[in-house]
Structure 1
Amino acid sequence: MRTILLPLLFLAFINCSKSGGDKHSVNADLVDIINEEPLPPHSVSEKASSDATSFPTLKGSDTVSRKIIKNGGMRIQVGDIKKAQSQTHEILKKNNAYIQKEEFQNTDVNENLNLTIRVPHKSFDKLINSFSDGVGSVLSKNISSDDVTEEYTDVSIKLANKKIYLEKYRDMLKSATTTKDMLEIQEKIRGLEDEIDVAEGRLRFIDDRVNYSTLELSLYKEKVRSSATSKIGFGSRFIDSLTEGWNSFVAFLLGIISFWPFFLLIPMIIVLWKKWKKRKQ
């Protein structure tokens, strides 16, 4: 009897262990299936935000050089606009500068040539000195410097992080299996691409203003000569005085004529006053 029971117990033990192993393999397969199922729609943003916490964030870097924007404005009185314009072109050529905008005004009183000049920042001070020395009499000059290093660094850091987010969302888009998930991820990608374009445009603008300084130059010539500032002879000054006197007399006469309606009212007032006085007597 013992010889029969021992083999039976041994077979039963083997069957139990085999069924236990099959049960564990099924459970493992179920876990794999659950992990392979697509994320619900609301979990897309949650997964992105959770993954975003693991993104490497750029810190303030010392590699960004100082960004200084230099601007200036000058108003110069000259004797001849054309000659001054020719001198200006020579100065610009020597300093590798160029004219971004040009505007000329010719009035009865003066002539104005307004120029917007862009010059490499290294040549900005040299350009200012060149205009101050030999073109004409400097009437006004203002120079300003704006340090935009902090703004440039901040925009650069945010731009780099946005690019990291963008790549992460693109990877998520490849593995998305439902239409809703794909639409949500694509919307995130579009928003990031727009923000990246704006940031890159801002950096390009700052680089342009840093690399090339701006000078607003105004060349000015008076048409009416002033005896206090111009070196002219007595004869010319005498003729100018006669001309100015005649112009003043004509202006005074025209001013009186403009009051002709009031001159008509004076006789009428006198006649009415005399009649009123006779009636009273």
Structure 2
Amino acid sequence: MRTLLLPLFFITLINCSKSGGEKYSADAAVSEIITEDKALPPPSSISEKLADNKASPNSEMKTDTISRKIIKNGDMRIQVGEIKKAQAQANEILKKNNAYIQKEEFQNSDLDENLNLTIRVPHKNFDALVNSFSDGIGSVLSKNISSDDVTEEYTDISIKLANKKLYLEKYRDMLKGAATTKDMLEIQEKIRGLEDEIDVAEGRLRFIDDRVNYSTLNLNLYKEKVRSSATSKIGFGSRFIDSVTEGWNSFVSFMLGLISLWPFFLLIPVLVFLWRKWKSRRKK
């Protein structure tokens, strides 16, 4: 009987030790997971790169898919015969190229008339618009066209924006498991800062997209009231009428200037009277 009980006792003892060891290892694993979860620190700065992001091929694919971003701008100054007629021609050109006027400013002086237009046109129609203005309205006095490649800036902002959004999601997950009020306030402050930076970055990307998709042309339509034959394509009749008008305006200005001196004309008789009186006394 003793010989049967001893093996049974040893077998029972071995099973208990195994189950206890398994239980201990399971508890240790859970404890380790909890410890690791609690010890996970928040990102120390916004510019910190995530290890998963560096090794991820998706980020490289995103940068590769970004097309080139070219911003085109132009300035043109055109001398015309009549501002109203030139403006009507410009409106027809704008309609053909799906462009629109963003800003309009008119100035009229004694020497010239100026109509300044800020025009926004789809990127693909920019060259056609410039050529139409060069050929069909008047004499081009100056033209300046520039292209600015902002692909690098756009790509850099896009990558940083993607990383900030990852950080934001990580902070939000950490906020759910925050244990103390102090931790909650610190994480909420980080979240607010990230949200502000994300809004700024998205606004900058929208601005770049707008400037890329729609080019800007600053157009000045210029009419010289006193024209020289070297710079004008207008006929003799128009120049003769302008000269007559300018001469009449000069005469009117002269007469108005004389009229403005009427107080001095009133002093002349007084001065003459006093001079004669003084002369007569001197003779006596």
Letter in 2 for 1:232: F
Quote how far apart the aligned CAs of 1:67 are: 1.4
Aligned equivalent of 2:51, options 12, 28, 53 = 53
Tell me how far apart the structure 2 counterparts of residues 150 and 31 of structure 1 sit (CA, whole Å).
50
Tell me how far apart the structure 1 counterparts of residues 100 and 177 of structure 2 sit (CA, whole Å).
53
How big is the alpha-carbon RMSD for the aligned residues of Structure 1 and Structure 2?
A: 3.9
**2:261 is the counterpart of 1:232:** no
Tell me how far apart the structure 2 counterparts of residues 171 and 239 of structure 1 sit (CA, whole Å).
79
Letter in 2 for 1:223: K
Q: TM-score, normalised by structure 1?
A: 0.72
Contact 1:41-1:180 within 8 A present in 2 as well: no
- The change in CA–CA distance for 1:239 and 1:221 in structure 2 (over 3 A counts) is closer
Count, aligned residues: 252
Query: Which residue number in structure 2 is paired with residue 110 of structure 1?
Result: 112
Contact 2:49-2:163 within 8 A present in 1 as well: no
- The change in CA–CA distance for 1:45 and 1:97 in structure 2 (over 3 A counts) is same
Comparing 53-62 with 200-209, greater Cα deviation is found at: 53-62
Q: TM-score, normalised by structure 2?
A: 0.71
Tell me how far apart the structure 1 counterparts of residues 5 and 49 of structure 2 sit (CA, whole Å).
56
Give identity over the alignment, percent.
62
Name which one, 1 or 2, has greater alpha-carbon Rg.
1
**2:13 is the counterpart of 1:16:** yes
Query: What secondary structure sits across from 2:64 in the alignment?
Result: coil
Comparing 95-104 with 39-48, greater Cα deviation is found at: 39-48
Contact 1:38-1:176 within 8 A present in 2 as well: no
- The change in CA–CA distance for 1:157 and 1:65 in structure 2 (over 3 A counts) is same
Contact 1:76-1:218 within 8 A present in 2 as well: yes
Letter in 2 for 1:200: E
Contact 1:38-1:177 within 8 A present in 2 as well: no
Which aligned pairs between 1:72-221 and structure 2 lie closer than 5 A?
A: 72-221=74-223
Q: Deviations over 1:72-104 (max 9, x none)?
A: 011111111111111111111111000001111
Contact 1:44-1:181 within 8 A present in 2 as well: no
Query: What secondary structure sits across from 1:142 in the alignment?
Result: strand
Query: What secondary structure sits across from 1:13 in the alignment?
Result: helix
Contact 2:99-2:120 within 8 A present in 1 as well: yes
**2:41 is the counterpart of 1:44:** yes
Comparing 115-124 with 145-154, greater Cα deviation is found at: 145-154
Quote how far apart the aligned CAs of 1:40 are: 8.8
